[in-house]
């Protein structure tokens, strides 16, 4: 599992661009969470590139949902980039395709 | 990428029937003849589901489940126990150990695949 | 085979409800105007209907609905409790029980008999509804049981033609390897998911546990499958998942109940159901109006429903109109209050059993720790373990009290029996119950039901005279059967008293002679005669009536009670009645014991039976020594030497001269009788977990169990009641089947 901040991340604009590689399952969830929380606190808008994500389970979905919070006084926005079929299948099962701003077609 | 299922049973015929049904449905299958053997197979291979018998020599199903729950890379793997009509009380024992699913023997492949589909991620 | 824990719960729940219906109905005969009773009755049948509906037991639902309607009219004072109504409701209750049993057994088709009974009862119930407005009567009319009708025709159903499924996954689901994704994907095989709303209940990221599950779903499924098939999809997660399944076109009221049952705010769920198409706007309006009405608030508020917003409404705060929230919140408060009144957690008996066993182990190792701490001589350690011991004792008491149930539940079962018997035999019998709140361990309560039933039937059958006999004896025409219970020195005493003819000496003797239990001209005391009725093969009923049953005699009762470490006493005054007292231990698992040593063996004497301990030489005056009696402050008591009973070789008892051991006598008291047990050494109080004796000890008299001491050593538990009754009967103990314990114990 690897999470790297990409070019364009800036505190002044509040945008955080992350490249995520590896699986997003319960086995990685706790570790990912640790890395995500500081970002979540520091930025307002997130662009997650999921081209390197192989498997995703509900724990992974919860991580994505965590980013996207508009209630309780938060105004966080998340955009998902380059999701692969496995991930889009999961999001579709949960009917979350509309919930997230998903950009560009999945890369096979 | 096909999902991998580990089948643990001391009966070769059960392993065969299960493996055939699973392979036919597109899963990869790893098999083991008892708990100890199964633990040795959990050595880095990604496993998406474990199907295990209760009564086995060397290490029985419950002890095996408890061991799996200690392995950092496998502790969240769903475990489905194979039980017989007369072992109903075992189901709870299995649940307490961490195996939340079960299939009652004898079973037909459709029943097996139904359980597997409820447990293995898409 | 049925794996469905829900069904199990339904089975238990319905049994309880049916029992409470029966109790209530019987009380209602005496107090036909008691609104509480009527309300209780209505609630019980309503709950049965509701949960039967959850499982799709349509026949149960149909019949329960009819009974509920009649009870509803009684509640609303439109129908009076009079004439045959109590009987009709009792019969209906029985039929409902039968239907539930059949449903649980999974019988697809009812038998002829039950159909006929059902039809007849339905017709009779219908009569109590007949002056309803025509339209209503029509829509609620009960169809023949063989032709179940769609819910839609029965009651105003919602327009939604889909099954509605509400799921709230528990936090542990993911860690258990279960993923909601797989289940939802699998659900696609059972039908078409028309709508699915994912709900998240995640805390702040800083507090979120990434491995916990916070997901919930509202699903509308278009499917021809039955409820069982849909529920079985979630079989593996049903233990840690809230699952509600509503059939297509369910009554609006069921949606109202669903919204109340779900953890989220009512308004939010209502909005989600509306947005997802499960409910139309006006249907939700109806539900809301219902709450308002129950709150006593202005009905007009419901009209200010919010416009359906385009948003899926999955986040709180989306539903703005405060007036709706106010209504919902107000309702929520009522609901919370209701819940406070009835905060009961259902726990499986097996789990309690495990807990009690664990506490037992805790008590043993606690005792050991205590012993070691005292031996080590460290004061602070000893103090600390002392505190610990106090806590362990509290835990033990609390754990045991969890299993305590009131004997009243068992007693109430007999109301029905007595009622039926009095009708059948043409005897007038009044059942008086007292001490119903006396608690005892559930395991004991479960096992005492059958013996008690037998004793009650026996009393009714043999003890009670006909009105004519009573009149000639100058007694009141109505018999009184009195069931009483109370606690007495660590035991529960259950009494069955009747004011009938009592035990008839001549009858018993004649029967015993006939059965060759005694010899001609054998002289017997009253208590010996009374004991005869407990002899195997003894039965005085001229012919086996269907009351006291066949084949099972009082000897079986005696054996059952002895197996519970209890005893039975009979007191009888000819012509005035009989009293049977059963004395049982409150719990079977743990006792406070008094540890003593005889020779090399340790024995435990139940502490609540110990009166006092004195040095043997002080009380054993010479004149009494041979006759096995002691003089305790002027009171002459029989005593026995445990060493002799159990053949343990006591090193210094009487013959050894080199080191004379100071013997002690433990004075025990049981059921009013005192006796002394002579032992070598007093070791003090000891908490004892009773382990049952193996078959090898089956024939050993005087032992009731074994325990393992903290040191790992085995100690036998002395059966004081057994020993006391032996010494007090014969003056000196008979040495029946002595066993050398040193040998038995490897």
Query: Do C370 and C414 share a domain, yes or no?
Result: no
Closest CA to A41 of A76, A4, A6: A76
Number of domains making up chain C: 5
**Is the Cβ pair C236, B118 closer than 8 Å?**
yes
Number of domains making up chain B: 1
B44 touches chain A (CB under 8 A): no
**Is the Cβ pair C184, A94 closer than 8 Å?**
yes
Is-contact C214 C201, C-beta < 8 A? yes
Preferred mutation among B94, B118, B120 to probe C, highest tally of C CBs within 10 A: B118
- Give the 3-state secondary structure of residue C478: coil
Calculate mean pLDDT across residues B11-35.
Answer: 86
What CATH number is given to the structural domain containing C697? 2.30.30.40
Query: Do C184 and C331 share a domain, yes or no?
Result: yes
Calculate mean pLDDT across residues C42-53.
Answer: 72
In a domain, C154, yes or no: no
Q: Is a pLDDT exceeding 60 seen at residue A56?
A: yes
Q: Given pLDDT bands bounded at 50, 70 and 90, which one contains residue B33? A: confident
Q: What is the pLDDT, as a whole number, of residue C438?
A: 85
Q: What is the pLDDT, as a whole number, of residue C166?
A: 92
Q: What is the pLDDT, as a whole number, of residue B85?
A: 59
Euclidean distance between CA atoms C733 and C718, whole angstroms: 14
Q: What is the pLDDT, as a whole number, of residue B32?
A: 92
Q: Is a pLDDT exceeding 50 seen at residue C658?
A: no
Q: At which residue do the structure tokens 């509701």 appear?
A: C50
- Mean pLDDT of chain A, nearest integer: 85
C182: nearest CB among B77, B79, B119: B119
Q: Which of A52-66, C250-264, C286-300 has the highest mean pLDDT?
A: A52-66
Calculate mean pLDDT across residues C54-60.
Answer: 74
- Asked if the A2-103 domain carries CATH number 3.30.750.24, the reply is yes
Q: Which of C64-68, C347-351, C414-418, C622-626 has the highest mean pLDDT?
A: C64-68
In terms of CA atoms, which chain C residue is nearest residue A96? C198
C598: phi then psi, degrees, rounded to nearest 5: -130, 115
Euclidean distance between CA atoms C589 and C357, whole angstroms: 8
Chain B residues touching A55 at Cβ < 8 A: 121
- Whole-number percent of chain B with pLDDT over 70: 95
C181: nearest CB among A58, A66, A99: A58
Calculate mean pLDDT across residues C506-510.
Answer: 80
Q: What is the pLDDT, as a whole number, of residue C4?
A: 55
Q: Is a pLDDT exceeding 90 seen at residue C56?
A: no
Read off the pLDDT of residues C288-338 as tens digits, 9 standing for 90 and up.
887 777 665 444 443 444 434 333 333 333 333 333 444 445 445 444 544
Q: What residues in chain B have their Cβ under 8 A from chain C's Cβ atoms? A: 75-79, 85, 88, 91-92, 95, 98, 100-102, 104, 114-115, 117-122
B76: nearest CB among A27, A55, A86: A27
Q: Given pLDDT bands bounded at 50, 70 and 90, which one contains residue C1? A: very low
Read off the pLDDT of residues B38-86 as tens digits, 9 standing for 90 and up.
999 998 889 999 999 887 778 889 999 999 999 999 999 999 998 875 5
In terms of CA atoms, which chain A residue is nearest residue B72? A27
Secondary structure, 3-state, C202-243 = CCCCCCCCCCCCCEEEEEEEECCCCHHHHHHHCHHHHHHEEE
Chain A residues touching C174 at Cβ < 8 A: 26, 57-59
A89: nearest CB among B1, B76, B122: B122
Q: Given pLDDT bands bounded at 50, 70 and 90, which one contains residue C624? A: low
Q: What is the pLDDT, as a whole number, of residue C306?
A: 42
Calculate mean pLDDT across residues C590-600.
Answer: 82
**Is the Cβ pair B100, C182 closer than 8 Å?**
no
Query: Do C390 and C415 share a domain, yes or no?
Result: no
In a domain, C156, yes or no: no
Report the gap between the CA of B66 and the closest CA in chain A (Å). Answer: 18
Annotate B109-121 with b (16+ C-beta within 10 A) or e (fewer): eeebbbbbbbbbb
Query: Do C414 and C390 share a domain, yes or no?
Result: no
Cβ-Cβ contacts under 8 Å between B and C: the total is 55
Q: What is the pLDDT, as a whole number, of residue C568?
A: 87
Read off the pLDDT of residues C175-191 as tens digits, 9 standing for 90 and up.
999 999 999 989 988 88
Chain C residues touching B100 at Cβ < 8 A: 176-178, 236-237, 239
Give this complex's ipTM: 0.91
In terms of CA atoms, which chain A residue is nearest residue B74? A27
**Is the Cβ pair A27, B1 closer than 8 Å?**
no
Query: Among A46-60, B100-114, C197-211, C504-518, whose mean pLDDT is lowest?
Result: C504-518
In a domain, C158, yes or no: no
Neighbours of chain A (3+ CB pairs under 8 A): B, C
Dihedral of alpha carbons C384, C385, C389, C391, sign = positive
Query: Among B24-33, C504-513, C528-537, C686-695, whose mean pLDDT is lowest?
Result: C686-695
Euclidean distance between CA atoms B5 and B69, whole angstroms: 17
Q: Given pLDDT bands bounded at 50, 70 and 90, which one contains residue C137? A: very low
Q: What is the pLDDT, as a whole number, of residue C721?
A: 76
**Is the Cβ pair B91, C3 closer than 8 Å?**
yes
**Is the Cβ pair B118, C189 closer than 8 Å?**
no
**Is the Cβ pair C215, A58 closer than 8 Å?**
yes
Q: Given pLDDT bands bounded at 50, 70 and 90, which one contains residue C733? A: very low
**In this predicted model, which residue has the larger pLDDT, A60 or C413?**
A60
Preferred mutation among C8, C177, C243 to probe B, highest tally of B CBs within 10 A: C177
- Whole-number percent of chain C with pLDDT over 70: 76
Query: Do C617 and C664 share a domain, yes or no?
Result: yes
Query: Among A83-87, C355-359, C411-415, C624-628, whose mean pLDDT is lowest?
Result: C624-628
Q: Which of C377-386, C461-470, C698-707 has the highest mean pLDDT?
A: C377-386
**Is the Cβ pair C206, A65 closer than 8 Å?**
no
Query: Do C524 and C642 share a domain, yes or no?
Result: no
In terms of CA atoms, which chain C residue is nearest residue A25? C211
Calculate mean pLDDT across residues A26-31.
Answer: 92
- Whole-number percent of chain C with pLDDT over 90: 5
Domain boundary among C403, C424, C449: C403
Report the gap between the CA of B4 and the closest CA in chain A (Å). Answer: 13
Angle between helices C5-30 and C407-425 (to 10 degrees): 60
Query: Do C604 and C557 share a domain, yes or no?
Result: no
Chain centroid to Cα C706, Å, comes to 27
Calculate mean pLDDT across residues C19-26.
Answer: 85
In terms of CA atoms, which chain A residue is nearest residue C179? A58
Longest dimension (CA), chain B: 38
A33: nearest CB among C210, C315, C317: C210
A93: nearest CB among B1, B76, B122: B122
Q: What is the pLDDT, as a whole number, of residue C314?
A: 35
Query: Do C434 and C579 share a domain, yes or no?
Result: yes
Q: What is the pLDDT, as a whole number, of residue C649?
A: 58
A57: nearest CB among C181, C200, C317: C181
C80: phi then psi, degrees, rounded to nearest 5: -95, 150
**In this predicted model, which residue has the larger pLDDT, C490 or A78?**
A78
Chain A residues touching C184 at Cβ < 8 A: 93-94
User: Residue C404 pairs with which residues in a beta bridge?
Assistant: C441
Q: What is the pLDDT, as a whole number, of residue C64?
A: 87
Q: What is the pLDDT, as a whole number, of residue B78?
A: 95
**Beta strands at C590-598 and C681-689: parallel, antiparallel or unpaired:** antiparallel
Read off the pLDDT of residues C558-585 as tens digits, 9 standing for 90 and up.
878 877 778 888 888 888 888 899 988 7
Report the gap between the CA of C167 and the closest CA in chain A (Å). Answer: 13
Residue numbers of the domain that contains C131: 5-149
Q: Is a pLDDT exceeding 70 seen at residue C732?
A: no
Q: Given pLDDT bands bounded at 50, 70 and 90, which one contains residue C377? A: confident
Q: What residues in chain C have their Cβ under 8 A from chain B's Cβ atoms? A: 1, 3, 174-179, 181-183, 185-186, 189, 211, 233, 235-237, 239, 350
Calculate mean pLDDT across residues C429-453.
Answer: 85
Query: Do C254 and C332 share a domain, yes or no?
Result: yes
Q: Given pLDDT bands bounded at 50, 70 and 90, which one contains residue C621? A: low
Calculate mean pLDDT across residues C525-547.
Answer: 64
What CATH number is given to the structural domain containing C13? 1.20.120.160
Q: Is a pLDDT exceeding 70 seen at residue A13?
A: yes
Calculate mean pLDDT across residues A85-104.
Answer: 85
**Is the Cβ pair C177, B78 closer than 8 Å?**
yes
- Mean pLDDT of chain C, nearest integer: 75
Domain boundaries, chain A: 2-103
Q: What is the pLDDT, as a whole number, of residue C710?
A: 63
Query: Do C372 and C412 share a domain, yes or no?
Result: no
Q: At which residue do the structure tokens 């075992």 appear?
A: B90
Range C228-232, long-range pairs (CB < 8 A, 24+ positions): C228/C4, C228/C55, C228/C56, C229/C190, C230/C163, C230/C165, C230/C187, C230/C190, C230/C191, C231/C4, C231/C6, C232/C4
Report the gap between the CA of C175 and the closest CA in chain B (Å). Answer: 5
Calculate mean pLDDT across residues C439-448.
Answer: 83
Query: Do C196 and C69 share a domain, yes or no?
Result: no
Q: Is a pLDDT exceeding 60 seen at residue C387?
A: yes
Chain centroid to Cα C206, Å, comes to 45
- Per-residue CA distances from C80 to B31, C75, C125, C132, C383 (Å): 71, 9, 13, 15, 68
Chain C residues touching A33 at Cβ < 8 A: 205, 208, 210
**Is the Cβ pair A37, C215 closer than 8 Å?**
no
Q: What is the pLDDT, as a whole number, of residue A49?
A: 92
Euclidean distance between CA atoms C679 and C660, whole angstroms: 13
Is-contact C426 C513, C-beta < 8 A? no
Read off the pLDDT of residues C144-179 as tens digits, 9 standing for 90 and up.
333 333 343 345 678 888 899 999 999 999 999 999
**Is the Cβ pair B119, C189 closer than 8 Å?**
no
What CATH number is given to the structural domain containing B64? 3.40.50.2300
Report the gap between the CA of A12 and the closest CA in chain B (Å). Answer: 39
Query: Do C120 and C203 share a domain, yes or no?
Result: no
């Amino acid at each position: 599992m690897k999470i790297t901040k990409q070019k364009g991340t800036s505190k002044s604009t509040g945008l955080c661009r992350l490249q995520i590689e590896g699986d997003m399952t319960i086995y990685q969830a706790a570790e990912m969470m640790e890395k995500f929380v500081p970002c979540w606190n520091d930025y307002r808008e997130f662009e997650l590139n999921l081209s390197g994500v192989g498997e995703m389970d509900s724990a992974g979905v919860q991580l994505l949902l965590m980013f996207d919070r508009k209630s309780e006084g938060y105004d966080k926005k998340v955009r998902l980039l380059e999701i692969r079929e496995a991930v889009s299948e999961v999001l579709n099962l949960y009917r979350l395709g509309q919930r997230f701003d998903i950009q560009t077609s999945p890369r096979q | 990428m096909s999902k991998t299922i580990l089948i643990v049973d001391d009966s070769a015929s059960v392993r065969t029937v299960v493996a055939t049904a699973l392979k036919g449905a597109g899963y990869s299958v790893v098999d083991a003849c008892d708990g100890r053997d199964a633990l040795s197979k959990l050595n880095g291979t990604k496993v998406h589901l474990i199907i295990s018998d209760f009564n086995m020599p060397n290490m029985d199903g419950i002890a095996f489940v408890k061991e799996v729950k200690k392995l950092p890379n496998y502790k969240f793997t769903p475990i489905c126990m194979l039980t017989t009509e007369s072992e109903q009380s075992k189901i709870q024992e299995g649940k307490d150990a961490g195996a939340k699913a079960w299939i009652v023997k004898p079973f037909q492949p459709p029943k097996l695949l139904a359980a597997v589909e409820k447990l293995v991620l898409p | 085979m049925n794996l469905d824990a829900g069904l199990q719960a339904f089975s238990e729940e319905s049994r309880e409800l049916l029992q409470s219906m029966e109790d209530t109905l019987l009380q209602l005969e005496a107090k036909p105007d008691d609104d509480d009773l009527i309300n209780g009755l209505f609630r019980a049948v309503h709950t049965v209907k509701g949960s039967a509906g959850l499982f799709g037991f349509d026949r149960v639902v149909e019949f329960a609905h009819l009974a509920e309607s009649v009870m509803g009219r009684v509640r609303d004072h439109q129908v009076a409790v009079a004439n045959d109504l109590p009987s009709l409701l009792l019969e209906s209750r029985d039929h409902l029980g039968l239907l539930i049993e059949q449903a649980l057994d999974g019988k697809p088709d009812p038998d002829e008999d039950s159909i006929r009974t059902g039809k007849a009862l339905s017709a009779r119930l219908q009569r109590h509804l007949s002056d309803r407005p025509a339209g209503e009567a029509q829509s609620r009319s009960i169809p023949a049981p063989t032709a179940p009708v769609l819910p839609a025709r029965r009651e105003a159903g919602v327009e939604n033609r889909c099954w509605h499924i509400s799921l709230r996954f528990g936090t542990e689901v993911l860690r258990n390897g279960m993923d909601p994704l797989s289940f939802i994907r699998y659900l696609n095989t059972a039908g078409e998911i028309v709508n699915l709303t994912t709900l998240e209940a995640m805390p702040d990221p800083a507090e979120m546990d990434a491995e916990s599950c916070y997901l919930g779903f509202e699903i509308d499924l278009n499917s021809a499958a039955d409820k069982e098939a849909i529920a079985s999809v979630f079989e593996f997660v049903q233990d840690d998942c809230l699952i509600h399944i509503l059939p297509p076109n369910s009554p609006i009221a069921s949606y109202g109940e669903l919204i109340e049952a779900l953890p989220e705010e009512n308004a939010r769920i209502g909005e989600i159901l509306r947005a997802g198409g499960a409910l139309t706007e006006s249907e939700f309006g109806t539900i809301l109006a219902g709450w308002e009405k129950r709150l006593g608030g202005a009905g007009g508020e419901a009209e200010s429903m919010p416009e359906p917003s385009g948003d899926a409404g999955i986040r709180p705060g989306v539903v703005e109109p405060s007036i709706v929230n106010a209504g919902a919140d107000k309702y929520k408060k009522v609901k919370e209050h209701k819940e406070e009144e009835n905060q009961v957690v259902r726990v499986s008996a097996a789990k309690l059993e495990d807990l009690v066993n664990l506490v037992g182990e805790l008590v043993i190792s606690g005792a050991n720790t205590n012993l070691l701490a005292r031996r080590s001589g460290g004061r602070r350690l000893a103090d600390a373990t002392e505190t610990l011991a106090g806590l362990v004792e509290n835990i033990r008491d609390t754990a045991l009290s969890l299993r305590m149930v009131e004997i009243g539940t068992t007693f109430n079962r007999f109301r029905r029996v007595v009622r039926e018997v009095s009708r059948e035999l043409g005897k007038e019998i009044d059942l008086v119950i007292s001490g119903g709140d006396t608690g005892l361990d559930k395991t004991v309560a479960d096992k005492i039901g059958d013996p008690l039933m037998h004793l009650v039937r026996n009393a009714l059958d043999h003890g009670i005279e006909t009105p004519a006999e009573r009149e000639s004896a100058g007694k009141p025409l109505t018999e009184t059967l009195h069931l009483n219970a109370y606690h007495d020195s660590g035991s529960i005493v259950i009494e069955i008293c009747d004011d009938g003819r009592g035990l008839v000496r001549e009858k018993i003797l004649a029967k015993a002679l006939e059965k060759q239990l005694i010899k001609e001209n054998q002289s017997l005391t009253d208590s010996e005669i009374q004991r005869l009725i407990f002899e195997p093969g003894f039965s005085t009923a001229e012919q086996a009536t269907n009351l006291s049953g066949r084949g099972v005699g009082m000897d079986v009762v005696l054996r059952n009670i002895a197996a519970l470490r209890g005893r039975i006493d009979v007191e009888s005054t000819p012509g005035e009645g009989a009293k049977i007292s059963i004395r049982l231990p409150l719990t079977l698992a743990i006792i406070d014991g008094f540890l003593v040593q005889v020779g090399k063996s340790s024995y435990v004497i139940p502490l609540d039976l110990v009166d006092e301990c004195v040095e043997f030489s002080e009380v054993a005056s010479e004149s009494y020594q041979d006759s096995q009696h002691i003089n305790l402050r002027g009171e002459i008591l029989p005593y026995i030497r445990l060493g002799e009973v159990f053949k343990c070789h006591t090193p210094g008892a009487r013959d050894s001269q080199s080191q004379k051991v100071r013997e002690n006598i433990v004075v025990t008291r049981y059921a009013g009788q005192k006796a002394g047990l002579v032992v070598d050494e007093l070791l003090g109080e000891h908490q004892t977990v009773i382990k049952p004796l193996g078959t090898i000890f089956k024939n050993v008299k005087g032992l009731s169990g074994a325990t393992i001491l903290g040191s790992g050593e085995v100690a036998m538990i002395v059966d004081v009641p057994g020993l006391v009754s032996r010494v007090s009967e014969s003056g000196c103990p008979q040495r029946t089947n002595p066993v050398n314990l040193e040998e038995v114990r490897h």
